[in-house]
Homo-oligomer: A and B are copies of this chain.
């Protein structure tokens, strides 16, 4: 079985001026990997015919699958369809099913159908049309010289719908795909280079079809093992053996042996012991709460957050004493302790996280520079506190604060409740 390579092409001027972050590529790459297709490269080009053709040629030279998103909208700057017509030597024809789909959508929205919208139902004559269940632009499947080209809309949820319902099942049917398996674990409290030294001897013995990657982020390092081979069951066994060895080597630093974010590690612990969390956020401004509630089912173990940006809210809703605020300042051990205890008192939660800090760029004082953060975790066994000094920009300081606070909660939960 030969390895199947894919290239992802994203089209749109907005990608080249940086107004939009390309999240489509990452999601598509993930899906392809899980299906046993290796992504060779990702290319982003503007709404420019020559550059699109150039990208198609490059992609076809190295890959047998080329996935394309973007440039299918109803406006003049969307030129992907005419370019594909020229590339495949065909011309546009009206597709009845696509037109029907557009008409249904406009009827639902109670909007009149314009000439531009009708034109969206036109497709290159030589393609297989993939109907768009979530929008007006149809997808297109071409085959040429053994290469499959699929053009999809750039709107993320439309592309995702089409990938899941049509593109991935068709690709699996179209070609023999190898198994590609991943195992991921997350470590905290050890730098990338020390981790590398710790596992160097083991890493040197890895078989050729199992690769190790280091993914450092937010003061933590994720380790990922990737195995590729023809037989899924044999592969799984080999990979699990290596993963077990890796786990025992880094045991002391391991946060989780799954590919999951830190908030879900906490979620599992809370849920398993039917405990409820509440957060009292000052400097993170709701970000910790957003992370937790971005996962379905979070209401089972999460009561909510009091985002107390003002002194008034800290006093009114969390019971922080005016005197503590005045004497110690909002960014202090005393205030985060009162915030955490106040959050527990005013809700029916079992555990509380509280954070207060200076995220920047303004707000620093001589003894409290930007990045100074106090955090507290309160629970049935008292309050833990921690002072952190980050040194980055506002966004990253907010993200780091959230990560460290969640890890502090995780440690407390493990101590109180067990793994």
Interface residues of A (CB under 8 A from B): 13-23, 25-33, 38-46, 51, 54-55, 58, 62, 73-77, 111, 114, 116-117, 155-157, 160, 182, 191-194, 196-197, 203, 211-216, 222, 224, 226, 276, 278-279, 281, 284-290, 292-294, 296-299, 302-310, 312-313, 316-317, 346-348, 359-362, 392-396, 398
Residues of B within 8 A of A55 (CB): 41
CB distance from A93 to the nearest CB of B (A): 21
CB distance from A47 to the nearest CB of B (A): 8
When chains A and B are docked, how far (Å) is the Cα of A296 from the Cα of B285? Answer: 11
Residue of B nearest to A215 (CB): B14
When chains A and B are docked, how far (Å) is the Cα of A21 from the Cα of B20? Answer: 12
Q: A41-B45, A196-B76 are in contact. Are A362 and B285 (CB under 8 A)?
A: no
CB distance from A215 to the nearest CB of B (A): 5
* Contact between chains at A360 and B296 (CB < 8 Å): yes
Contact sample, A vs B, 5 pairs, CB 8 Å cutoff? A18-B30, A42-B43, A303-B309, A304-B309, A310-B347
* Contact between chains at B29 and A215 (CB < 8 Å): no
* Contact between chains at A77 and B191 (CB < 8 Å): no
One of B58, B73, B117, B196 near A216 (C-beta < 8 A): B73
When chains A and B are docked, how far (Å) is the Cα of A152 from the Cα of B215? Answer: 17
CB distance from A179 to the nearest CB of B (A): 14
Residues of B within 8 A of A18 (CB): 25-33, 39
CB distance from A111 to the nearest CB of B (A): 7
* Contact between chains at B313 and A398 (CB < 8 Å): no
Smallest CB-CB A-B distances: 10 pairs? A285-B293, A286-B289, A286-B286, A18-B30, A18-B29, A305-B307, A304-B309, A42-B44, A16-B39, A18-B26
Residues of B within 8 A of A285 (CB): 289-290, 292-294, 298
Q: A21-B23, A312-B347 are in contact. Are A116 and B306 (CB under 8 A)?
A: no
One of B30, B54, B287, B305 near A19 (C-beta < 8 A): B30
* Contact between chains at A29 and B17 (CB < 8 Å): yes
Residue of B nearest to A23 (CB): B21
Residue of B nearest to A361 (CB): B296
Residues of B within 8 A of A213 (CB): 13-14, 77
Residues of B within 8 A of A396 (CB): 156-157
CB distance from A309 to the nearest CB of B (A): 4
* Contact between chains at A224 and B41 (CB < 8 Å): no
Residues of B within 8 A of A215 (CB): 14, 19-20
Residues of B within 8 A of A26 (CB): 15, 18-22
